[in-house]
Each structure stands twice: as C-alpha cells, then as structure tokens.
Amino acid sequence: MTTAVVPHVPARLGRFVLRMFRPHIYVTYALLWVLALESSAVALTGTAWRPTGATWVRVVTVVLALLFLRMLDEQKDLAYDRVHHPDRPLVTGAITVTELRGAMAALTAVVAGLNALQSATALLLILTSLGYALFLAVLEGASRAVRDRQLLNLAVTCPVQVLLGAYVYGALAAAGTVTADWHGVVLLALCACVFLHFEFARKTAWTAEPTARLYSAGLGPRRSAAVTAGFAAGAIGCQVALFAPDGPLGLLPCLAAVLPAWGTRRFLAARRGGWPLPAAMGFVVSTYLALVVRAVLLP
C-alpha cells in the first residue's frame, strides 16, 4: 500500500504547498524580509549594497524554513482543525503526517547543505531556528496553557521569527560583510515589530466566534488595536534610531506609517469587523521595500 502511494507524494505535497503556503504571499514576504534586513545591515556600514549569490542562498533558506514551519503548524493544529477546519488537507487526508514529516526532513537537509557551503555559523543558526520550532511543537503538546492561551503562545513562538532574522544577520557577520554590533539588535527589533504588527492586525476584531483564536478576545478590541498600532510605532522608532543621521532619504521607510495610522483610525471608528488587513499587509510590504530602495539609493 505504501509503495503504491509513493509516486503520488510529490503531487500531493505540491497541492499542499499551493493551498497552505501560497507562494505569492510567503515567497514575497521572505524575499522582502531578507533583502530589507541584509541591505540595511550593509548600508549601515557605509558600504554600497548589491545582492550576491550568498544573498539568494539566504532568501531560499528563509523561504524553505517558512515552509518547514507551515508544515509543522499543520500538524500541531490537527486536533483543532478536525473540529473547526474540517476541509484542511491533513484532516481530509489530502496529505498525511508521514508525508509532511518526510518533506520536513528533506527541507532540513537542503537548507543544511546550502548553508554548510557558506559558513559553520550560518549552518548552526538555521538549524537552531528549525530545532527551536520542533521544541515548540513538543512544548505545545505537553502544555495546554501554551497551546490555548494566545498571548503566551505568541511569546514562545515569536522567537522563531527573531532566530530567522538572526540567521540572516549572523550569516552576514560570519562572512565579514558586517561587524556585529548594536545596529543588528535594532534591525532585528524592527523586523520583529513589523511582523508583530501584522500578526496582531489579522487577529484583532470587534466580535468573533467563541472558538476563534484572536488576541482581541483576551485583550478586548481597543487594547488589541493599541498593541497593533504600538508595534507599528516600534518599527518606525527603530528606523529613526538607525537612519535619522542619513537625512530625509534615510527616513524614507517611515512614510509607511500612514498605513497603520489609517488602519487604527478605521478600525476604531467602524466599531465592527476586523482590522483592515490591506493596510497591515501594505505596511509590511512598503516598509521592507522602502528599506531596500533606501539602501540602493544611498551612496
């Protein structure tokens, strides 16, 4: 029976990826994230930035790491999805746990091989990121509080994003492209704030089903909106701290602040529905894109 289905596994995985890891969203996010982080880190040294072969290794690595995390999340959420999302691929049998775990092992081997060719530091950092994600799966399985309490869950899962950012910055430092200093810490904080702004925005609403996993369910819609706006403000503050000495062009990415400002006003004025997600997504895209443009244009 197993032999009969093996030839169909790539097709099943392909359908899973297209549905649960929409490339136009995840790949675009990973691309902009890595380019914004790397270009800003290099530009802060006073060196002109241009992408290299190593840049694309980091982009591919982060894309594959995000796919690894999506596959892991599908398994962690299986019990919840059986009740609330019965059409998910793992629930319907369109994919199996064994197939997902096999794909995760293959992804790990690929990213390990890619980064072993770069440096031992890059290899260690990416494996640490994936290892921490696996640890979280065990922790969530063992702790109902971590699994069910949204804010606690976010507190223990957010470091995965920080570790992936640290992989990009650490790989640059290991290659001698940048010297690790306080700029790296602020850059990682900037990226974390951008991510958390979108994360809170997509889970903030005035009303929701009792079983919905929303931050606003625990904080209340106004406080959740304040946290959402606060993370956007944190991202802008990090940019000011890093780039204000470069003058008006250095602060170009701060223009994206208009989007969370509008989103906050719209959400609070509407008193119904959820946070306007186009504004939150636009903030992520415009911030990262502006950071890349800034790094390219600065002498």
Query: Which residues have C-beta within 8 Å of that of residue 15, sequence separation ≥ 6?
Result: 89, 94, 95
Identify the pLDDT of residue 2: 40
Identify the pLDDT of residue 46: 87
Identify the pLDDT of residue 114: 97
Residue with tokens 């591919």: 60
Identify the pLDDT of residue 4: 39
Q: Exposure string (b/e) for 179-207, b if CB count within 10 Å is 16 or more? A: eeeebbebbbbbbbbbbbbbbbbbbbbbe
Q: What is the distance between the terminal CA atoms of the chain, rounded to a whole angstrom?
A: 62
CATH code for 181-299? 1.20.120.1780
Task: Please list the pLDDT of the chain residue by residue as tens digits (299 residues).
Answer: 344 356 688 899 999 999 999 999 999 999 999 999 999 999 999 888 999 999 999 999 999 999 999 999 999 988 888 988 899 999 999 999 999 999 999 999 999 999 999 999 999 999 999 999 999 999 998 998 998 898 999 999 999 999 999 999 999 999 999 999 999 999 999 999 999 999 999 999 998 877 778 999 989 999 999 999 999 999 999 999 998 877 776 677 788 999 999 999 999 999 999 999 999 999 999 999 999 998 988 76
Whole-angstrom Cα distance, residue 32 to residue 138?
Answer: 31
Identify the pLDDT of residue 5: 55
Query: CA dist 68 to 174, 198, 230, 267, Å?
Result: 24, 20, 30, 33
pTM: 0.93
Identify the pLDDT of residue 188: 97
Helix (H) or strand (E) holding 23: helix 23-43
Q: Exposure string (b/e) for 154-165, b if CB count within 10 Å is 16 or more? A: eeebeebbbbbb
Identify the pLDDT of residue 250: 67
- Show me where the domains of the chain are located: 1-179, 181-299
Identify the pLDDT of residue 3: 42
- The CATH class given to the 1-179 domain equals mainly alpha
Identify the pLDDT of residue 17: 93
